[in-house]
Every structure is written in structure tokens, then in C-alpha cells.
Amino acid sequence: MTATVQPDAATSLQSELVLVLDFGSQTAQLIARRIRDLNVFCQLVRHDISAERVKELAPRGIILSGGPASVYGEKAPKCDPEIFNLGIPVLGICYGMQLTCQALGGVVQAGTTREFGRTELKTLEDHPLVAGLPATSTVWMSHGDQVQQAGDEFIPIASTHSCPMAAVRHRSRQIFGLQFHPEVTHSEYGKQLLENFLRKCCGCAGTWQIESLIEQQVTAIRARVGNSRVICGLSGGVDSSVVAALLYKAIGSQLSCIFVDNGLLRKGECEKVRERFQNHFKTDLHVVDASHRFLSELAGVVDPQQKRKIIGRVFIEVFRKEAESITDARFLAQGTLYPDVIESGGSPDGPAATIKYHHNVGGLPEQLGFELIEPLRDLFKDEVRRMGLALGLSEELIWRHPFPGPGLGVRCLGGITSERLHALREADAIVLEELRKAGLYRTIQQAFAVILPVQSVGVMGDGRTYEETIAVRAVTTDDFMTADWYPLPYDLMRIISTRIINEVRGVNRVVYDISSKPPSTIEWE
């Protein structure tokens, strides 16, 4: 049983619903996020969703995303053509525009000139969809095909130098097309266009707010849980912390949290979790110190995949034993997010392709016989952060840099020992502390220290040393799928290096990682 929202809460949540049909665009999720930023609830669904199913969902509007295919290709993805006859406003973006026009009598062909990147857009007509746009503006194009003939049904309302129908509207229906991408920040009036479609074409008032979602989820959780106990596995990260805070607001003392100290945590992590959930929220917090067991089982292991398997297995065993000691527990709460649901094929209406297998706590619900509660499964990461702030969690926690599930185990390259972990933990703390002092912590999306399986010769106080090497990594990224290394100021690098070498015993060399993703990954293992 995986449902997380009661029918009344779901109805309220989707009172102003917009559907995005996913045709494989890299920005399909971004479209959904932009719509939600305008306070309208939006869901990403498979491109071939039936018109009957759309009628059941009763959205205020439908958006057809872009995609890499050509609409005239033999295996080009299509939508149910009856969608255009439902009387629901439709906005086609890039491939979505081409598909819309083709389905309603237009002709799509390869353009004489391809457009990629920034292009000047000229508005041709005073229409509500382009209200507020100047006569010329910059938009982001990414297409080789374009609508060559729109037929008698569509009227162009904007153009570029090589695309006479860069934006179109249907003569008699609320159906529109944009050849460019309004969802990307490079389209300077893209947000205005999307807002025009939502407000002026779909009639959305923009009532979806994180605060109202909290109340809806609180009501739904109380109705589902009743008098039973819920277990929440805490990692110290944003997602599990927000789940725990939301559950505490809903059911108070019926919540039990389990935090496993695996000995692979950041400096002070265990103490922060105790302060946050035992002292501030007053939850029933079970802190299990299993650090000795984890380090014993990892002794002598250097292969990164083997490390991950050991850490995952031991975690499940430790968590299971502690969970069995909590009586009257029927539910297990997880911090599953909407991208996880999309990419794992976890939604019956979602995109058909399974990108990755997702399970937050390694099969624990099935192994322990719990019913699963996933109150964040409709939210993107930025929405989870906003919910956390609304629930009273600190900004320090909410904007914390990502930390891998296996913890320092995959940042301690080579053999894992308590001595090497101590050096890594101290060096990592120095990196983060100096970034905060420099005001760069929020500018950089992820930064950390890595201890390398390399020792080198050094000189300290007239004496020869042969000690550990620390690598510092700092990257900027929008989605963590790609990332650029961040050029830290030389003075800041000098401070970090000097502090690590002076304050962390056993380290005599610091290096800086200047590789981007791809070809490198963000984490080293």
C-alpha cells in the first residue's frame, strides 16, 4: 500500500491542476517546476495518456513538452488526438507545438535554417498569451524542424528571423503553440508567457501554496494513521528531516524516529540530529550507535561498490533490529520526492520509461511488513525546502549541501580506518566553515573534502613527514546531472589549505579538483 494522500486532500491539492505531457524533453520537469512556481499544481504524465483519463483528472490546462524526435518520423511519439477536442486549453512547446499543428492540419518539415540558442522574437499580434511582452525580446530556441504550413486553423502571433510561426494561436479554440522554450531562464519573458497561459487562457487563480499543502497533508496523515505509530528513518538530510517535521505536526507523540550513527557521518551530525528532533521537536528519537560494527565490516575493503553494498546491508540489519523494538508501529515514512517517482515509473500516469530503480531505505517496508507513507512524493526539491522552512526547520539544514547515503565511506578512498575518517571529517568541516565565512556556501551547490589513497613526502618543523593527501571539491550545478567545478578565490584556497595542514594531524598536502561532470562525477567513488 503506497497511497499517501486521502481523496479529500488529493481533490484540494489538484483543484487547479495542469498536466504536462512528456515527449522526452530534457526540460519537461523544468516546465512542471515553472508552473508550480506560479502557484498552480502541475503533474508530469506520459505522452500517450488517454483523453478519457485526462477527462477524469479534469485539468485546467494541458502542456505538450518538447522532445528529441521529428513529428514526421516513423516512431515519433504521439498523443491521443481527442485531447484537442476536450475543450481544455492546450499549449504546445517546441515538439509539442509541431505535434499540435500537425494533428490539426498543419505541415511540419525540416527548417531551411536550424535555430539553437538565443534568438530575437517579434510579437505580431496583441493577444492575451503575449500580454506584457515588448515588441522584441530574447527567447531560447532548440529545433531543426518547424511548422511550415499552419493551415487555416492557426494564426501566427510571434516570429523570428528564420521562423515565421514562432508562436501561434488557434482561430476558434484555446490551443496555442510556442516553437521556443519559455521554461528556460534564457527566454527573458518566458515566465510571463507561462503565467499568461495559466491566468488568461486556463483561468487559474494560483491558489496552490506550500502552506496549504502542509495542512492538506496533515489532515490526510491523521486520517490514514489513526492511533497507530509511524517510524521515520532519519539521515540528517533535508528530505527525511522535512518528513519527520511534517509527521510530528500531524501526529505528535505517535512518531518514532530512528537515526543510525554509522561512524561515517560529518562532524557533529549526530549531535545536530539530537538537538533538532529530541530537544526541539520532542520526538521519540532512537539513536543507534553502530559505528563500531560498520567500521569492523569495512576493514580492509577498498572497492567502492563493495563498500556501498556493505554499508547498505549493515544499515538494513541495524535499522530492522531497532524498528522491531518499537511496538504498535504500522507505517514507515520515507522522503521520496516527485523526480524519484517519475524516474522510477512509480506513477501510473507518469512517463513510461523507468530511468532508475528507487527505494529510499533499501526494501525496508517489504522486509518489515510496514505500510509506506511518502508525504513528499508530489514535490520537487525546492518545494521540499520551502515546506521545511514553513515547518520551522533551520536554514542551515534546509540549504545543506547533499551528502551521499554511504557517507564518508565513499569519500575515504582506499582503506577505511577510524584515523583516516577522523582526518577527513575534520578537513571537511574546515572546508564548509571557510565557505560559509566567505559567503559562498549558497553559491556553491556541493563542496566537500576527500582523503586520497596517496601519501606524500612533506616537511614540518625541520622534520620529514610521509602523510595523507586531502582533495577539495566544489561544484555549481542546476540539476546535479551536469556540474562545473567552482573557481574558488586563491586567498580562500590558501586559507583552507593552511588550516587543514596545520589543524588536521596526519595530513601534509591539499589539492583542488578542477574536473567537471561529465566526464568526472561529482563524488569520487
Q: Which of 16, 183, 374, 434 is catalytic?
A: 183
Say if CB 467 and CB 507 are below 8 A apart: yes
* H helix count then E strand count, the chain: 16, 18
Taking 90 as the threshold, does the pLDDT of residue 475 lie above it? yes
Domain ranges of the chain: 17-201, 210-398, 411-512
Query: Using CA atoms, how far apart are residues 508 and 176, in angstroms rounded to an integer?
Result: 63
- At residue 147 the predicted structure's pLDDT band, cuts being 50, 70 and 90, is confident
- The residue to which cell 586567498 is assigned: 491
Taking 90 as the threshold, does the pLDDT of residue 107 lie above it? no
Q: Which residues contact 418 (CB under 8 A, 6 or more apart)?
A: 263, 295
Query: Using CA atoms, how far apart are residues 478 and 185, in angstroms rounded to an integer?
Result: 12
Q: What is the pLDDT of residue 296?
A: 96
Query: Using CA atoms, how far apart are residues 155 and 165, in angstroms rounded to an integer?
Result: 8
Q: What is the pLDDT of residue 352?
A: 42
| Collapsed DSSP state (helix, strand, coil) of residue 302 | coil
Query: Using CA atoms, how far apart are residues 152 and 156, in angstroms rounded to an integer?
Result: 11
Q: What is the pTM of this model?
A: 0.72
**What's the 3-state SS for 368-386?**
HCCEEECCCCCCCHHHHHH
188 as an active site residue: the answer is: no
For the segment 368-375, the average pLDDT, to the nearest whole number, is 84
Query: Using CA atoms, how far apart are residues 331 and 319, in angstroms rounded to an integer?
Result: 14
Residues facing residue 447 across a β-bridge:
474
For the segment 25-54, the average pLDDT, to the nearest whole number, is 89
Q: What is the pLDDT of residue 495?
A: 98
359 as an active site residue: the answer is: no
- At residue 405 the predicted structure's pLDDT band, cuts being 50, 70 and 90, is confident
Query: Using CA atoms, how far apart are residues 516 and 157, in angstroms rounded to an integer?
Result: 41
Taking 50 as the threshold, does the pLDDT of residue 452 lie above it? yes
Q: Which of 47, 127, 181, 286 is catalytic?
A: 181
Taking 90 as the threshold, does the pLDDT of residue 472 lie above it? yes
DSSP 8-state code for residue 166: S
Mean pLDDT, all residues of the chain: 86
| DSSP strand pairing (371-373 vs 175-178) | unpaired
Q: What is the pLDDT of residue 351?
A: 53
pLDDT digits (tens, 9 = 90+) for 238-264: 899 999 999 999 999 999 999 999 999
Q: Which of 42, 94, 202, 412 is catalytic?
A: 94
Is the pLDDT higher at 114 or at 39?
A: 39
Query: Using CA atoms, how far apart are residues 379 and 386, in angstroms rounded to an integer?
Result: 10
Q: Which of 260-264, 273-277, 319-323, 505-509 has the lowest mean pLDDT?
A: 273-277
Say if CB 421 and CB 472 are below 8 A apart: no
* Amino acid at site 459: V
Say if CB 66 and CB 95 are below 8 A apart: yes
- At residue 438 the predicted structure's pLDDT band, cuts being 50, 70 and 90, is very high
Closest CA to 182 of 133, 231, 242, 135: 133
For the segment 28-35, the average pLDDT, to the nearest whole number, is 88
Q: What is the pLDDT of residue 301?
A: 94
- The yes or no reply on domain 411-512 and CATH 2.120.10.10 is no
**What's the 3-state SS for 78-134?**
CCCHHHHHCCCCEEEECHHHHHHHHHCCCEEEEEEEEEEEEEEEEECCCCHHHCCCC
For the segment 313-317, the average pLDDT, to the nearest whole number, is 91
| DSSP strand pairing (136-149 vs 154-159) | unpaired
- At residue 366 the predicted structure's pLDDT band, cuts being 50, 70 and 90, is low
Query: Using CA atoms, how far apart are residues 509 and 449, in angstroms rounded to an integer?
Result: 12
Q: What is the pLDDT of residue 316?
A: 87
Q: Which of 141-155, 327-341, 451-465 has the lowest mean pLDDT?
A: 141-155
Q: Are both 17-201 and 411-512 of the same fold?
A: no
**b/e code 297-320 from CB counts within 10 Å (16+ = b):** bbeebeeeeebbebbeebbbebbe
Q: What is the pLDDT of residue 7?
A: 35
Residue 174: which H helix or E strand, with range? none
| Collapsed DSSP state (helix, strand, coil) of residue 362 | coil
Residues facing residue 145 across a β-bridge:
110
Compute the residue count for the chain: 525
Query: Using CA atoms, how far apart are residues 368 and 509, in angstroms rounded to an integer?
Result: 47
94 as an active site residue: the answer is: yes
pLDDT digits (tens, 9 = 90+) for 111-129: 666 556 788 899 998 899 9
Q: How far is CA 521 from the centre of its chain?
A: 17
pLDDT digits (tens, 9 = 90+) for 90-106: 999 988 988 888 888 77
* Class of the CATH-defined domain 17-201: alpha beta
| Collapsed DSSP state (helix, strand, coil) of residue 212 | helix
For the segment(s) 210-398, the CATH number from 1.20.1440.230, 3.90.1150.10, 3.40.50.720, 3.40.50.620 is: 3.40.50.620
Q: Which residues contact 169 (CB under 8 A, 6 or more apart)?
A: 127, 129, 154, 155, 157, 175, 176, 177
Closest CA to 99 of 59, 125, 70, 120: 70
Say if CB 278 and CB 258 are below 8 A apart: no
Is the pLDDT higher at 31 or at 479?
A: 31
Say if CB 167 and CB 139 are below 8 A apart: no
Taking 70 as the threshold, does the pLDDT of residue 479 lie above it? no
| pLDDT > 90 fraction of the chain, expressed in percent and rounded | 53
